[in-house]
Amino acid sequence: MTHAHITAWLLALILFFVALGLQKGGNAKGAKIVQMILRVLYILILLTGIMMLFDLTTISMLYILKSAVGLWIIALFEIILARTSRNENASVLWIQFAIALVLVLYLGFSLPLGFDWF
Ligand code: HEM
């Protein structure tokens, strides 16, 4: 399940930047299509994450934090894409994005399931 989870969020991360690139290139229609695929991936990320949570016997605070930050990144994907499509400033969101990404990678890879790097 961790591999499905990693595949889903890695693909989502790539498609998020593809959608941004298409927006910047003025291809609004292409960006919309990529964003639809991205939304399907959110469901997969959520499902695989929730399935891992259900497999646990005890859910510690770190798991709750990990899941919350994961959800926050998904929210940021959506808010950043919406803002940049309207040509609004998103720099505060990008700072949050960087912090949330480092946090979620650290928490995910330090928690015991799947890879346990830290
Ligand atoms: C874009 C969003 C997300 C990213 C980048 C992300 C990233 C990660 C990473 C790197 C791992 C470690 C995998 C491994 O050790 O093999 C992981 C595990 C996990 N994720 Fe996520 N995740 C995201 C969203 C979510 C969400 C929304 C949830 C909850 C609903 C969730 C729940 C979990 C759980 C329970 C684990 C297992 C932790 C462990 O290794 O013991 N994740 N995630």
CA pseudo-torsion sign 73, 80, 24, 31:
positive
Percentage of residues of the chain with pLDDT beyond 90: 97
What residue segments make up the domains of the chain, in order of their start? Answer: 2-110
SS (H, E, C) 20-38: HHHHHCCCHHHHHHHHHHH
**What mean pLDDT comes out for the span 3-18?**
98
pLDDT band (50, 70, 90) for residue 63: very high
CA of residue 100 to ligand 1 center, whole Å: 12
Q: Any residues with Cβ below 6 Å from ligand 1, and which?
A: 2, 5-6, 9, 12, 45-46, 49-50, 52-53, 63, 66-67, 70-71, 73-74, 104-105, 108-109, 111-115
Q: Residues 88-99: pLDDT tens digits? A: 999 999 999 999
pLDDT at 57: 92
How many Å lie between the centroid of ligand 1 and the Cα of residue 108?
5
Q: What integer pLDDT is reported at residue 30 of this predicted model? A: 97
- Between 32 and 118, the higher pLDDT residue: 32
